[in-house]
């Protein structure tokens, strides 16, 4: 069976759609307080959206002949150097938060992670969407 290779533009469309869903879920919380179901949904949508953002970056770099990269941290650093993202440290924090939240670890980081998603990470993803949209329109 032949696999269809996604274009960077198609990945970007999927990312934008997921970001809109994530933003909607974040807006449903009252004063930043989430019940257990809302928290689960927000985390799920965030992880999906972040993963799609990394896919966009990966496809973009493939398209221009860069890569491959060994992981999300290396990809994030290169995206910062290529000016696809504007706050490399915050994006690396996002990667680290995802790693620490992993249920394999005993650390309870959910509250901090949810707060970071609502207060910082969604805005970073929105700025990436703006930047990447302009880049793809060139």
pLDDT given for residue 4 in this prediction: 44
Q: Are 54 and 128 in contact (CB under 8 A)?
A: no
Question: In the chain, what are the domains?
Answer: 9-137 (1.20.120.330)
Q: Are 78 and 66 in contact (CB under 8 A)?
A: yes
Q: Please state whether the peptide bond connecting residue 68 to the residue before it is cis, i.e. omega within 30 degrees of 0.
A: yes
pLDDT tens-place string over residues 26-59: 887 756 677 788 888 888 999 999 999 999 999 9
Distance CA 120, CA 124 (A): 6
Whether residue 62 is predicted with pLDDT greater than 50 in this model: the reply is: yes
pLDDT tens digits, residue range 80-122? 999 999 999 999 999 988 887 765 555 566 788 888 998 999 9
Indicate the burial class of 89 (C-beta count within 10 angstroms; 0-12, 13-18, 19 or more): exposed
pLDDT for the residue 1 = 42
pTM passes above 0.85: yes
């Amino acid at each position: 069976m032949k696999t269809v290779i996604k274009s960077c533009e198609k990945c970007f469309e999927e990312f934008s759609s997921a970001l809109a869903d994530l933003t909607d879920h974040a807006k449903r919380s009252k004063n930043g307080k989430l019940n257990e179901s809302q928290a689960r949904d927000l985390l799920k949508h965030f992880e999906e959206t972040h993963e799609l953002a990394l896919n966009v970056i990966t496809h973009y770099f493939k398209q221009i002949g860069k890569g491959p990269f060994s992981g999300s941290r290396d990809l994030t650093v290169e995206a910062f150097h290529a000016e696809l993202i504007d706050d490399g440290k915050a994006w690396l924090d996002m990667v680290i938060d995802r790693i620490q939240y992993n249920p394999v670890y005993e650390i309870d980081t959910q509250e901090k992670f949810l707060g970071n998603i609502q207060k910082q990470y969604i805005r970073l993803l929105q700025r990436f969407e703006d930047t990447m949209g302009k880049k793809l329109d060139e």
